[in-house]
Structure 1
Amino acid sequence: MTWQTPIIVHPPAPDGGRRITVRGQDVGVARDDRDLVEFLRRAGLGDADMALDDPHLVEWRGGGAHEWAKSS
């Protein structure tokens, strides 16, 4: 079995949101760090705001960390 980061922040959509996957489950579309932290809290991950920059926990795909708008 291949190891995968538990939290994936997918590339920005044209409307600026990013789909969030936690442990293989789609949990919604975040539009900023506060949304992401709330999704992680609801998924049972404590101190989520402290973990956003940990590459072992969060994989930011198709855009930089904390970038929510699709670049032109």
Structure 2
Amino acid sequence: MASSAPVVIYPPDEEGGRRVRIDGTILGRANNVRDVARFMQEAGLQDWDEMDVVRSALIEWRGGGPDAWTM
């Protein structure tokens, strides 16, 4: 099933990291919300911080929300 959100955070892996996909491209692996905010900044949203990540409807969290970093 395709996501309607431009940003997808995948479920945590065995090491607690989550893949981050923005506009169909995997940008890397985040270990916390701060890492997701950095990916968003690199994608052009320079003013984004952790609270923007937690509250945004642009992000689809799979396998748990922004507080889920372990399997």
TM-score range, shorter chain: 0.7 to 0.9
Backbone CA RMSD of aligned residues: 1.8
Q: Quick check: which has more Rg, 1 or 2?
A: 1
Identity over aligned pairs, percent: 40
| Counterpart residue type for residue 67 of structure 2 | H
Question: Stretches of 4+ moved more than 6 A in 1?
Answer: none
What are structure 1's unaligned runs of at least 5 residues?
none
Query: In 1, are the aligned partners of 2:3 and 2:60 still within 8 Å (CA)?
Result: no
The answer on 1:19 being equivalent to 2:19 is yes
Corresponding position of 2:42: 42
SS of equivalent residue, structure 1 residue 51 = helix
Corresponding position of 1:64: 65
Q: Deviations over 1:7-56 (max 9, x none)?
A: 110000011000000111100000011111111111112332243222x2
Q: How many residues align?
A: 68
With structure 1 as the length reference, what TM-score do the two structures score? 0.80
What are structure 2's unaligned runs of at least 5 residues?
none
